[in-house]
Structure 1
């Protein structure tokens, strides 16, 4: 039907309006907006008020879209198989015999079945975290609403998620606060509840939930807070304590007064929840006592024998980083700390304990740090000890010092002094020559060890080359800032033979080990095997390289074995004559004191010094003069005594004689001056120990028969020394060396 047209009279108001621009635009008939907003036919603020039809339509549309989204997400969420859930575990560090001594990782976790978790422990968790756990569908709408109301009103904090939801979040999702993550969490919880029994869900939840202090799972939490496995948590007090931590583990696990007050309030709430759920009677609640938790472990961790477990892990981590650079399949220390790996180290459990005892008996028990005259030097002295397997380069034991993050055995860089005289003498001989006035000695004549002299102190180039072949330049090149002069100048310094290049005890022990193994040097190793996700990715296979000829090694050993005494202490008292060789060392008379000695199976170095870094970053060296009331001239008595106690303990007083040295050594040794007389006043050296030991306790090379080690550490040997380098025999067996009547074939001298 056509609209009726009207005509406005000229001069009227209607006519005037029609004459405007709108009059030229005819109105469209039959047109309506889908969304009438702002509303037509309204003026002012009324145009902005939506109609009830718009409001209802918007709500209906939103519900429809949301329902569609929920259906779509629910359809795409798959039921996770909790039986195939892989829970991260800690990385463990083991002694050479497989005994675990340290664990580290992002998740310190030890899995336990639900059958080992006491009922009171299960009830405490369920009562406070999800009272309807055994009957709900995986989600609890009332619990969410109740938690929201409690939070708004400022009441006790309550979690809105059920145990099943928490398990899903811990095992499959993240802590990201998004609606999508929450929706997926709810749907997975529902589907898991429909698929798996409640006991199985609770089992996995207790193995994944975090309790603070780096402990994941109920077993790790029990060990961390009470030092017992979870099956011993049978009282409501300790059970409620662990259950209370789940709410805010990072805060409630702290030991400050505020955190402890919050934890105790939560602990009371757990007990009340158990009573409300019928899991505990009011009388039992009243009888429950606040438990005493263990003090959190510090950075340094010691075992019952005083062995620094954290230092062993630190040394192993440094070695891992080196291995990772050579073999990417080996995890570096940062990756290992994420958990799941097994690091089998070279450290011998009994030898590590023996090192602690030797330092205690040989030094600590003889000092008097409380004396006013002795306070400075007796309190500040530092000790480093390192013991190396001569045939494989394995670091068997070390003493890192008394606490702290600095390892005196492997990290310290101290001038070794006359410790270098043995290497200076070996370098002066040249390849395949003999010294002590014998043929081919180059006219060097006999050598007096133990003094700050060298047969050829000016020939620094030969000595530097030998130092490189026995690993004594590695730390120098890696840490040039520790050197007394630039590296290029140091390598040519005529005083290099006087021990001015700083070294660590572990490097010195490995270098001396070459003399014990016929001149063959083995690079240091701190690990036997590395396992990642149950698969062994690396196994140690010792390999040796010739450093000096066998004749030179035998000559040096013969002279060192003839030293006899050092400052009144019989350095060979720990082992029979001819089965041990050693060399003391001092620098500057009073800044450091050393002793290095070896049998056919073990080389051990002990070093003492007293230095620190001041507030301005400068290294301040203190004198060892009158350490334990001993004058500086006799300071070598301390490392010698420690060495003696340690070697007696680890060898049982038995070893295998060294191969016979060249004839010239016997001549030179007979001409050597008598050892220095006069032990310090008031110091009585330990008497020579009994050299009798049970046959089962020791092997014929001065090593106890070790426990079986990881397979695959053996290396083939070769009798053709001219064409190949003789590899070390199996470290686990520590087979005896050739008899003195049949000296080993010397390896091909290096070019």
Structure 2
């Protein structure tokens, strides 16, 4: 091969080798691409981008911080119950949609406060209100769908409970963070801790530490021990799982571990001494207790307490009217302690059941379904309402029979006439001072005289009995209508009504007419208990008060002193008390009260009453330390109209004040008596008026219609021993089941009755009581 050919061959070979050079050129190009990436993502640029993002995030956070304000609190988190307590502090019931009672942190022992800090956030007193690491973890978990995670501070948990919601979203988490930071700057740690323990849920339907303390340990938050506080703090992690009453074995083990964790943290923080810690044992909580409702007597007590509270809210200017006051009470947050004595309340309920309701059988006697009982018991020295009976059951009979004032008090009004007479130094028509020994004409249907003028009122005595000349004491014992009708005119009806008002009766709109001497206006057992308490308190006004105290975190509620000024002279009040001892010892209440085996020598004063057509029957009586008024009312359960109670409970005929009411009174009063006491009376007659004997008739059993006072019309004849009454008159008809206990139609076999009251005469033309009532 020549040189020329060799050269061509090399040239051809060079061209064939060209692809190799291209591959080399491609590799070089690749190396240049990596360089460009390195040049694009340098460490400086990465760090710059990171710091840029941080700055952007910080800017965004600053914007959020400026935009997001601390919102109004969640109304749901402020819902509270009203708590009602007996006078000894024990819980009566709670009302409201949420079992929560917000308490000031100062009422929670410091050591108990720290149990919550030890359980949830040891750095609480030092941190800025947030846990950035925990919050970031929560946000990431939320984004990744892993759900809620722990790690929030007490401040954040409070913000979530009170200001936000329980939803798990990034926006909610960011709001929680911002609000927590702001709240920590604006509020004290104590404020935040108080909000946290008052809004948290502890299980058993209890919201807040006070409700939890009651639910688990039956104590108030201020009485919690460190051990108990540590258990409540442990509960917050898993309330239902850790409730000792329903926890599984695993749950019990876990809560004990959590309890130990709380106490060990307290030792670590030097909030608890190590030696004290070693001596602590796990405080097993009480079994869950069914929440008391409004059934039985509780509803009546709660309603009356609320009524009293609303009146005070208006009186203090907190509310403009009762409607606004009701709205404030319904908001909750009140702890209302009643004056009601738990033992006396139970005793009164038992007395009504034993002496009345257990004897009522509507299936056997339709009239038994019409009988309603009401009672109120008052301390005459303090005015405290110690017990109240409102009806068979609040959820069955809503009207409170202890406070209703639509029935006549009948002859229980007569002592007020005597009180006015003695206090006013009144005289008879003949100018004789009226005292217990003053003689009056006890003739039935005697026209009442105002000087030489008849006033147009001539009330009959029970069964139209004529007593002739009779002392005021005897007239009170036998409840002689004609005597007290005349006494009312002698004193002056305006003065009588005025005295009744001063003693405590609601006399607004009451006409000062002679018929009022027979107790024809309306009154309630609570009202009459207050009147007689004023007499028992030697004439110093007693206004029954059911509320002992009220506590609320936002306002102070003050109640006036139940004991007021002297409204009648002591001698007048004591004279009436003295005379009323005769009603018990020698009058219409002797069988039920005087001869009661539980009396044990106790001095007692009181008065019976039976109203028009036997629609109500009363006994209001007192000892030096206790005044109780018991009323029975005839009420149609469907129409709620007032109806007679004849033969109710199996009595021979009429339900009298000396029967069921006096029996209830005696069973209750003598049952709760701590000691035998005597009245301290200042009268011109000594310690008490001596019992008298009727000159006209023997003393009969209490429940006989001819032996007790009544408002029913007597026979048309003024001489019951010579003329039989009409057989169709319900007041004189002889019941077939017990002739010896009922009015006799035979003057030769029945002695003259001892008489009694008649608060309103019945028209002989309508013997069944079908007439207009005056």
Specify if TM > 0.5.
Answer: yes
| Alignment equivalent of 2:61, drawn from 63, 70, 93 | 70
Say if 1:157 and 1:64 are closer, same or farther in 2 by CA, change over 3 A.
closer
Q: State the alpha-carbon separation in 1 of the partners of residues 430 and 165 from structure 2.
A: 77
Alpha-carbon shift at residue 416 of structure 1 (Å): 1.5
Partner of 1:582: 606
Alpha-carbon shift at residue 221 of structure 1 (Å): 5.4
Unaligned stretches of 5+ in structure 2? 1-52, 72-76, 122-129, 260-285, 442-470, 705-774
Say if 1:437 and 1:584 are closer, same or farther in 2 by CA, change over 3 A.
farther
Partner of 2:313: 324
Q: State the alpha-carbon separation in 1 of the partners of residues 217 and 90 from structure 2.
A: 22
Q: State the alpha-carbon separation in 2 of the partners of residues 182 and 520 from structure 1.
A: 65
Q: Deviations over 1:180-224 (max 9, x none)?
A: 98754222447899999x9x9999756522478863137735865
SS at match of 1:318: helix
Say if 1:503 and 1:79 are closer, same or farther in 2 by CA, change over 3 A.
closer
Q: Deviations over 1:24-80 (max 9, x none)?
A: xxxxxxxxxxxxxxxxxxxxxxxxxxxxxxxxxxxxxx9999964531443798999
CA RMSD of aligned residues (A): 5.8
Matched, 1:591 2:615: yes
Partner of 1:505: 525
Matched, 1:641 2:663: yes
Say if 1:430 and 1:353 are closer, same or farther in 2 by CA, change over 3 A.
same
Alpha-carbon shift at residue 418 of structure 1 (Å): 1.8
Q: Deviations over 1:388-441 (max 9, x none)?
A: 222333222222223215432224532222222222343455613478999313
Say if 1:470 and 1:227 are closer, same or farther in 2 by CA, change over 3 A.
closer
Say if 1:587 and 1:204 are closer, same or farther in 2 by CA, change over 3 A.
closer
The range that moved more, 214-223 or 602-611, is 214-223
Alpha-carbon shift at residue 544 of structure 1 (Å): 2.8
| Alignment equivalent of 1:137, drawn from 132, 136, 140 | 132
Partner of 2:356: 363
Matched, 1:469 2:502: yes
CA contact (8 A) 1:139 1:164 kept: no
SS at match of 1:391: coil
Partner of 1:408: 401
| Alignment equivalent of 1:348, drawn from 317, 331, 341 | 341
CA contact (8 A) 1:418 1:452 kept: no
Matched, 1:456 2:446: no
- 1:197-236 equivalences in 2 (<5 Å): 205=196, 207-210=198-201, 215-217=206-208, 220=211
Q: Deviations over 1:480-539 (max 9, x none)?
A: xxxxxxx4xx42443222222221111001111222223332222233444444996636
- 1:114-513 equivalences in 2 (<5 Å): 137=132, 140=135, 167-169=157-159, 172-173=162-163, 183-189=174-180, 205=196, 207-210=198-201, 215-217=206-208, 220=211, 242-243=239-240, 297=291, 299-300=293-294, 308-328=297-317, 334-335=327-328, 338=331, 341-364=334-357, 366-369=358-361, 372-374=363-365, 376-404=366-394, 405-411=398-404, 413-428=406-421, 431-433=424-426, 439-441=432-434, 444=440, 446-447=471-472, 448-449=475-476, 451=479, 453=481, 455-456=484-485, 459=489, 460-473=493-506, 477=508, 487=509, 490-513=510-533
Q: Deviations over 1:325-384 (max 9, x none)?
A: 3334799565456555554433333322322232232223x4153x6313x444453222
| Alignment equivalent of 2:701, drawn from 660, 664, 678 | 678
Partner of 1:713: none
Alpha-carbon shift at residue 596 of structure 1 (Å): 0.5
SS at match of 1:562: helix
Say if 1:621 and 1:99 are closer, same or farther in 2 by CA, change over 3 A.
same
Alpha-carbon shift at residue 586 of structure 1 (Å): 1.0
Q: State the alpha-carbon separation in 2 of the partners of residues 338 and 225 from structure 1.
A: 25
| Alignment equivalent of 1:519, drawn from 539, 544, 547 | 539
Instruction: Give the TM-score normalised by the residue count of structure 2.
Output: 0.56
Partner of 1:132: none
CA contact (8 A) 2:93 2:293 kept: no
SS at match of 1:108: coil
Q: State the alpha-carbon separation in 2 of the partners of residues 437 and 359 from structure 1.
A: 46
Alpha-carbon shift at residue 452 of structure 1 (Å): 6.9
Partner of 1:569: 591
Partner of 2:101: 108
Alpha-carbon shift at residue 582 of structure 1 (Å): 1.0
CA contact (8 A) 2:574 2:683 kept: yes
Q: State the alpha-carbon separation in 2 of the partners of residues 203 and 326 from structure 1.
A: 32
| Alignment equivalent of 1:626, drawn from 647, 658, 675 | 647
- 1:18-97 equivalences in 2 (<5 Å): 68=59, 70-74=61-65, 92-97=83-88
Matched, 1:560 2:580: yes
Q: State the alpha-carbon separation in 1 of the partners of residues 351 and 208 from structure 2.
A: 40
Q: State the alpha-carbon separation in 2 of the partners of residues 511 and 570 from structure 1.
A: 22
Alpha-carbon shift at residue 638 of structure 1 (Å): 0.7
Say if 1:414 and 1:675 are closer, same or farther in 2 by CA, change over 3 A.
farther
Alpha-carbon shift at residue 620 of structure 1 (Å): 1.8
CA contact (8 A) 1:433 1:552 kept: no
Q: State the alpha-carbon separation in 1 of the partners of residues 417 and 143 from structure 2.
A: 79
Say if 1:506 and 1:179 are closer, same or farther in 2 by CA, change over 3 A.
farther
Q: State the alpha-carbon separation in 2 of the partners of residues 69 and 91 from structure 1.
A: 45
CA contact (8 A) 1:418 1:586 kept: yes
Q: State the alpha-carbon separation in 2 of the partners of residues 195 and 420 from structure 1.
A: 65
Matched, 1:650 2:654: no
Higher helix share: 2
Alpha-carbon shift at residue 607 of structure 1 (Å): 1.0
SS at match of 1:496: helix
The range that moved more, 431-440 or 571-580, is 431-440
Say if 1:309 and 1:666 are closer, same or farther in 2 by CA, change over 3 A.
closer
Alpha-carbon shift at residue 679 of structure 1 (Å): 5.3
Q: State the alpha-carbon separation in 1 of the partners of residues 57 and 521 from structure 2.
A: 75
Say if 1:195 and 1:493 are closer, same or farther in 2 by CA, change over 3 A.
closer
Say if 1:653 and 1:115 are closer, same or farther in 2 by CA, change over 3 A.
closer
CA contact (8 A) 1:221 1:242 kept: no
Unaligned stretches of 5+ in structure 1? 1-61, 81-85, 127-134, 151-155, 247-263, 280-291, 303-307, 478-486, 682-751
CA contact (8 A) 1:559 1:669 kept: no
Alpha-carbon shift at residue 624 of structure 1 (Å): 2.2
Q: State the alpha-carbon separation in 2 of the partners of residues 621 and 544 from structure 1.
A: 35
Say if 1:680 and 1:513 are closer, same or farther in 2 by CA, change over 3 A.
closer
User: Greater Rg, structure 1 or structure 2?
Assistant: 2
Q: Deviations over 1:550-603 (max 9, x none)?
A: 333233223221122536624234546682111111112421111001122322
Alpha-carbon shift at residue 605 of structure 1 (Å): 0.5
Q: State the alpha-carbon separation in 2 of the partners of residues 337 and 672 from structure 1.
A: 61
Q: State the alpha-carbon separation in 1 of the partners of residues 371 and 54 from structure 2.
A: 77
SS at match of 1:606: strand
| Alignment equivalent of 2:624, drawn from 597, 600, 614 | 600
Q: Deviations over 1:209-265 (max 9, x none)?
A: 247886313773586599899969999xx999844899xxxxxxxxxxxxxxxxx9x
Instruction: Give the TM-score normalised by the residue count of structure 1.
Output: 0.57
